[in-house]
């Protein structure tokens, strides 16, 4: 898989002491446990049927694997394997620690299904302490008024960056149907969610995804991780008191923190500038941006065209040919814009620009120093909303390095 978890973790856990907390919420049977199973790439959590009580389900990465349930007022009870659905339904909570690499630094918590109405105190507590919300919705009826109302109440408690996970997308009759739903959701849920991911989460599909990257891609696993990587997290400070402070204090963006692990070299176009203080892979900002693009799914190419050096784009992702082609498309666009829209001799500035084709999205922006940063994506692998958000982070990181 292409997700750089080191980056996600480094970024999300400002303090080493605490994992990134992701709460998975949604209405009854909307696919919350399925989201956890897809992230784990395993069908560990059974589907509990009936509209009765549900345990809080917590999954974390860690070296000491273990599963424990808790019942109200009783000590945690360890289990060698995940209890059956009927036993789980009677527990107040179940926690599983798994040695899976991709979960390291994370704590995913499925909260019992929510209904329109006041948010219970214990649910409120989870929201106040969370970093990210994944809202699960059923593909055939996605984004109902009740969901909007519940998410609004959650965001009033804490304005969590939010991924909309659309389950049962395998039930759409065609890709066109899914595209139509995506377009509608992008329009209607725009103010509430920061990214949309479609899931094919039947238990059979998740089982197939265990040993096959291709099947995992079909399930939507890499897309889900990509969407998480594209988020700006709020309020993560090592100080617990600050974390639980009222949301009215406003969000603060966690600074981008590159992974410490060496970043794999990407095709570099010859002739890129070399200045003092560079690492073997180029200046530090290049390593940062490569780590970020590497954590995204569906990037064909990405790079920077230095000001006044159009022939030597700096590759951040993709082959040298792909970088050159996308760079050329951006430069042509800038050039056409300059000549075609030069009103009365006053040069207009081209802002962030996106070109959408049937299967791709090219987005670029000219920076203050005249250089151009771009990203070229496959839309089937990362939907445009997430891609634009991710590009925003790429551009902001680059701009900060230029300043
Ligand atoms: N085919 C298919 N089935 C799915 C998908 N997502 C969920 N299901 C099935 O729908 C049922 C409910 O899914 P869950 O993930 O348990 O939903 P939940 O939100 O955790 O449900 P509650 O905790 O009971 O509210 C299960 O039988 C799942 O296997 C999907 O993407 N495709
Ligand atoms: Mg569930």
Kindly indicate the confidence band of residue 98, based on its pLDDT and cuts at 50, 70 and 90: very high
Kindly indicate the confidence band of residue 262, based on its pLDDT and cuts at 50, 70 and 90: very low
User: Whose alpha carbon is nearest atom 21 of ligand 1?
Assistant: 29
Least confident stretch, 14-23, 211-220, 382-391: 14-23
Task: Determine if residue 282 is left, alpha or beta; phi over 0 gives left, psi from -120 to 50 gives alpha, anything else beta.
Answer: left
Round to whole Å and give the CA distance between 360 and 380: 8
pLDDT, tens digit, for every residue of 99-126?
Answer: 888 888 899 999 999 998 899 999 999 9
Q: What pTM value is reported for the model?
A: 0.70
Nearest to 362 by CA among 339, 333, 338: 333
**pLDDT reading at 151 higher than 50:** yes
**pLDDT reading at 11 higher than 60:** no
Kindly indicate the confidence band of residue 134, based on its pLDDT and cuts at 50, 70 and 90: very high
Round to whole Å and give the CA distance between 302 and 150: 38
Q: 192 φ, ψ to 5°?
A: -115, -30
Cβ-based neighbours of 223, under 8 Å, separated by 6 or more: 197, 198, 217, 297, 298, 381, 382, 383
pLDDT, tens digit, for every residue of 171-199?
Answer: 999 999 999 999 999 999 999 999 999 99
pLDDT, tens digit, for every residue of 303-356?
Answer: 999 988 888 999 999 999 999 999 999 988 888 877 777 666 666 677 889 998
30 lines ligand 1 (CB under 6 A): yes
Query: What pLDDT sits at residue 245?
Result: 25
| Structural contact between residues 305 and 387, judged by C-beta atoms closer than 8 angstroms | no
130 lines ligand 1 (CB under 6 A): no
**Ligand 1 atom closest to residue 28's alpha carbon, by position in its atom list:** 25
Is 5-249 a CATH 3.40.50.300 domain?
yes
Domain boundaries, the chain: 5-249, 284-402
| Structural contact between residues 314 and 269, judged by C-beta atoms closer than 8 angstroms | yes
List b or e across 223-234, with b for residues whose CB sees 16 or more CB atoms inside 10 angstroms.
bbbbbbbbbbbb
User: Whose alpha carbon is nearest atom 13 of ligand 1?
Assistant: 31
Q: Which of 30, 34, 114 to mutate to test the pocket of ligand 1 (most atoms within 8 A of CB)?
A: 34
Kindly indicate the confidence band of residue 278, based on its pLDDT and cuts at 50, 70 and 90: low
Round to whole Å and give the CA distance between 36 and 58: 9
Domain 284-402: top CATH class: alpha beta
Round to whole Å and give the CA distance between 341 and 188: 33
| Structural contact between residues 3 and 295, judged by C-beta atoms closer than 8 angstroms | yes
CA 112 / ligand 2 centre spacing (Å): 7
Q: Supply 174's token pair.
A: 């065609």
Do the domains 5-249 and 284-402 sit in the same CATH topology, yes or no? Answer: no
What number of CA atoms fall less than 13 Å from residue 86's CA on the CB side? 0
């Amino acid at each position: 898989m292409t997700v750089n978890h080191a980056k996600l973790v480094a970024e999300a856990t400002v303090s080493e002491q605490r994992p990134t907390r992701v709460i998975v919420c949604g209405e009854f049977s909307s696919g919350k446990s399925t989201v956890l199973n897809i992230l784990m790439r395993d069908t560990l959590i059974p589907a509990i049927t009936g509209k009765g009580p549900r345990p809080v389900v917590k999954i974390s990465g860690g070296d000491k694997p273990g599963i424990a349930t808790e019942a109200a007022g009783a000590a945690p009870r360890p289990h060698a394997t995940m209890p059956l659905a009927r036993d789980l339904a009677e527990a107040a909570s179940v926690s599983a620690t798994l040695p899976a690499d991709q979960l390291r630094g994370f704590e995913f918590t499925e909260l019992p299904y929510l209904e329109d109405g006041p948010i219970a105190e214990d649910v409120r507590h989870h929201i106040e302490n969370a970093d990210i919300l994944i809202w699960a919705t059923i593909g055939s009826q996605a984004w109902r008024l009740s969901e909007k109302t519940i998410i609004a109440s959650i965001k009033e408690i804490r304005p969590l960056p939010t991924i909309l996970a659309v389950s049962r997308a395998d039930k759409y009759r065609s890709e066109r149907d899914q595209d139509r739903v995506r377009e509608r959701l992008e329009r209607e849920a725009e103010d509430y969610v920061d990214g949309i991911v479609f899931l094919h989460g039947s238990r059979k599909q998740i089982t197939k995804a265990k040993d096959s990257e291709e099947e995992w891609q079909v399930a939507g696993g890499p897309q889900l991780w990509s969407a998480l990587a594209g988020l700006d997290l709020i309020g993560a400070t090592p100080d617990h008191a600050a974390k639980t402070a009222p949301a009215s204090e406003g969000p603060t963006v966690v600074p981008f923190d590159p992974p410490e692990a060496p970043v794999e070299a990407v095709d570099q176009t010859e002739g890129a500038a070399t200045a003092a203080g560079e690492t073997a892979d180029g200046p530090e900002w290049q390593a940062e941006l490569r780590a970020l693009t590497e954590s995204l799914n569906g990037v064909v190419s990405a790079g920077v065209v230095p000001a006044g050096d159009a022939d030597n784009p700096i590759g951040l992702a993709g082959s040298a040919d792909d970088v050159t082609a996308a760079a050329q498309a951006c430069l042509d666009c800038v050039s056409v814009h300059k000549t075609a829209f030069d009103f009365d001799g006053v040069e207009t500035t081209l802002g962030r620009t996106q070109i959408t084709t049937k299967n791709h999205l090219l987005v670029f922006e000219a920076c203050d120093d005249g250089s151009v940063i771009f990203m070229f994506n496959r839309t089937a692998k990362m939907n445009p909303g997430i891609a634009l958000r991710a590009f925003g982070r790429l551009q902001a990181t680059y701009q900060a390095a230029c300043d």
